[in-house]
Structure 1
Amino acid sequence: MKLTKREVLEAMATVPLAASCVSTAGPGSADTIVVGAGVFGAWTAEMLRRTGRKVELVDAWGPAHARASSGGESRLTRAGYGTSRRYSEMAAESLEEWKRLSRDQDLALFHDAGVLVFFDQENEYATGSYETMRALNLRTERIEPGALRARWPQIDWSGVKFALLEPDFGALMARRSVATLVEQFIRNGGTYRKAAILPPKGGKKLEALETAAGETLQAGEFVFACGPWLAKLFPDVIGARLFVTRQEIFFFRPPAGDLRFGMPAMPGWIDFFADQVMYGFPDLENRGFKVANDVHGPIVDPDTSDRLVDPASLAQVRAYMGRRFPGLMDAPLSETRVCQYENSSSGDLLIDRHPQWSNTLLVGMGSGHGFKLGPGVGKAAARLLESPSAAPEPIFTLATKAETQDRAVH
């Protein structure tokens, strides 16, 4: 029997045992269990399903739920990573998967707004991004101040020396994208279960998981892609190597009838100025003009931290908008959100085997830039399970994750 979209989404929202109604698979029948239905876990589950495995996806609250790092409204997708070619490659291959997922949806998952990155000086990051994207045959354009003022007069370009435009990239609708991916995963034979997983225990390998409800979930392989909760499930292995930070997002209402701050007049953007990095989106789907500070906020606990924005942060964002987007200087605040990054010491992702259990992968540390890379992360994780002798890529190893932050990846 073919399930309707509503039936699939309702199944994902119900109690743990009810989730099994979306598939004929029963407890213990999975080859691989993936814990965490955010962007990394959902894409890993999908990539493993494509290999022919029976895969069960498990989450304590639901795909891209409100406190997940994959929740919320929108994420930038871009390929500029300085000289970090591997991330540019992953962004490009991931974009094709995102576009394919978005193609047949009633509501778009990907908006091809383009991404414009502002620089106040020549630097290695800008040069490396431009040269790497050109080497990968990714379209990019360097734009000088005169042309910037002509093309986007709604932006005050004071202090900007040049900008790089990535016309083929843009914005992903975050929560909707993950929910759609999980729905597709279920329709194509994967299973989903809502359950809270207890910190796992094992000998030479992990053989089963225990849930807070007293269930035992068995499989031959396990993947943990639990975002900010990874350190709570593996305090001895991950522990102080994961830095969960509070990040505040603001949406402002453009003037009535003003088309300058929506698509196609306005791209997604990132502004590198002095020691600050601001970024944002045009008015996507009439939700408002989004502005956020990419500088890492204070360390928080994802379970207990409040979700109220700091008035000082709002004042900082308003002062910035007055300088860079003068037409929005007095725009009313329409929405706020407090989310989190889960950072590694360097900003590099984690895709590696558990140090004791060869049948268990640890995937995470998105570090505020990982959402767009979800399909590539899923492929890299699936490769390690497909080839037990394969070595993880050096930048993704647990061994490279320190206990002191020194961010190198933006």
Structure 2
Amino acid sequence: MGKPEAIVVGAGISGVMTALHLARRGLQVALIDRWEPGHPRASSTDYNRVYRAIHGRDEFYTKWVRDARLRWLELQEEIGQRLYYECGALILATEGHCHWEDATAETFEKLSVPYYRFSQEELAIRFPQFDASNISYGLYEPEAGMLMAHRSVMAGVELFKRAGGIVLRGKVTTDSQERLHLEGKPLEADLIVVATGPWMSEMFPRTIKPISTIVAINVLYTSTPEGNTQFDQENMPCWIDHGEGSFGMPSVEGHGVKAAVVIPDKIDLDNDERLIKRASIARTRQYIQKRLPALANERIVDSKFNQVIITPDTHFVVDWHPEHSNVLFAGGCSGHLFKHGPVFGDFVAGVGVRDYATADRFKIAGRRKLSPAESPSGR
């Protein structure tokens, strides 16, 4: 193989979808990762991820993710594997802290996104799995659910290969001028897309690190009760519980009920073990006892350790390196990129071949902390 027209560094959901769309534009594309695609160190690992259009007042992401739903369904049909379960998503609005949820309802009305608003009493009837005693109301989005994360990444890799793409294994580093090298040699291509997730901050200490924070999220899977289907995806939605800093998903394909209490934790990306902390187990058990009391005495059956890169405004990063005109950054997931995958990859590919410029919100410059009411992620 000669010098590729495009190289994508990082085979998580951002890199895989970008590589796929570049290949489908007719480019010769190489996808490079330090490890095998789908490896457990990646931010795109884990069994499943929430898909929902809930983004507060942000119409841009709401439109994007609605488009992404259709594209995920198309990819599912194309690959012939189950990538998406439409079990719905429930956002629980805590009394006194409903600004983001209120804004979401207004956005849904404006964009005609299907949803239902349930009172505390209605929640108890419709979703008896949850103790909603401190909840003001719930927003239920029926055209939402969960994506099978690992399977979706691997499906994207397979489609990329079918489109003529090449997958390579190797460690890409940067020098003091943030020039890219592969195994000590300069990395050369007309276009290089860097989609290395949290590693992007370490690779580009002058450009990306100042606008990023790396946090670790501990996830637990709890067994469903014996003989009880109440917590299966056919009968229970995914949920977001900002008042408790938590989110979760019902059991699917036998994995158990997923619950995460977001307690930001530091991580050494290259040296730390991917094991959850005892403090997180105790805090998550406490949350389950409060919000899902029927699971209080069930056993933990699995756990996952994820890390994400968060920008101050929780917007993604799609922008050119200020000194290297062929290097395009793609990432800054802020915990809500996976579901956007097909749309994000298509957009990045278009920016990469200069069909259009990037959006202002994705530029490196001008980042600022947003209030929870302004933030597209609610953080």
Aligned equivalents of 2:371, 2:169: Cα separation in 1: 36
Match of 2:181 in 1: 210
The structural deviation recorded for 1:200 is: 5.9
2:364 to 384, 393, 398: 398
Does residue 77 in structure 1 map to residue 51 in structure 2? yes
Structure 2 segments unaligned to the other structure (5+ residues):
none
Q: Do the aligned residues in 1 keep the contact of 2:211 with 2:311 (CA within 8 Å)?
A: yes
Are 1:188 and 2:159 counterparts?
Answer: no
Which residue of structure 2 lines up, in the alignment, with residue 101 of structure 1?
75
Residues 1:405 and 1:129: Cα distance change in structure 2 (over 3 Å)? closer
Task: Please state if 1:268 is matched with 2:238.
Answer: yes
Alignment match of 1:283 (pick from 221, 235, 251): 251
Residue 306 of structure 2 is aligned to residue 339 of structure 1:
yes
Aligned 1:65-214 pairs, distance under 5 A: 65-105=39-79, 107-121=81-95, 123-199=98-174, 210-212=181-183
Q: Which residue in the other structure is 2:9 paired with?
A: 35
Greater mean deviation of Cα atoms: 107-116 or 133-142: 133-142
Equivalent residue letter for 2:63: E
- Are 2:336 and 1:369 equivalent residues in the alignment? yes
d(CA) in 2 for partners of 1:215 and 1:358?
19
| 1:147-180 Cα distance to aligned partner (Å, 9 max, x none) | 2111112221111111111111100111110011
Q: CA deviation at 1:182?
A: 0.7
SS at match of 1:72: coil
Root-mean-square deviation (Å): 2.1
User: In the alignment, is residue 259 of structure 1 matched against residue 233 of structure 2?
Assistant: no
Instruction: Give the structure-1-normalised TM-score.
Output: 0.86
Secondary structure class of the residue paired with 2:328: strand
- 1:38, distance to aligned residue in structure 2 (A): 0.5
Which amino acid is the alignment partner of residue 354 of structure 2? Answer: S
One-letter code aligned to 1:223: V
Which one-letter code corresponds to 1:139 in the other structure?
P
Q: Does 1:354 align with 2:321?
A: yes
Greater RCO (CA < 8 Å, at least 6 residues apart): 2
| SS of equivalent to 1:254 | coil
Query: Partner residue of 2:216?
Result: 246
Q: Which secondary structure state, in structure 2, belongs to the residue aligned with residue 331 of structure 1?
A: coil
The separation in 1 between residues aligned to 2:287 and 2:202, in whole angstroms, is 37
Contact 1:344/1:405 (8 A) holds in 2: no
Residue type at the aligned position of 1:236: R
Identity of aligned residues (%): 31
- Distance apart, 1:232 and its partner CA: 2.2
Q: Is the 8 A contact 1:342 1:366 kept in 2?
A: yes
Using structure 2 for the length normalisation, give the TM-score. Answer: 0.93
Single out whichever of 379-388 and 300-309 deviates more from structure 2: 379-388
Quote the Cα distance in structure 1 between the aligned partners of 2:366 and 2:150. Answer: 30
Q: Which amino acid aligns with 2:19?
A: A
Across the two proteins, how many residue pairs are aligned to each other?
A: 374
Letter aligned with residue 164 of structure 1: L
Unaligned runs of 5+ in 1: 1-25
Distance in 2 of aligned mates of 1:364 and 1:104: 25
The letter of the residue matching 2:171 is: A
Determine if contact 1:345/1:406 at 8 Å carries over to the other structure. Answer: no
Opposite residue 49 of structure 2, the aligned amino acid is R
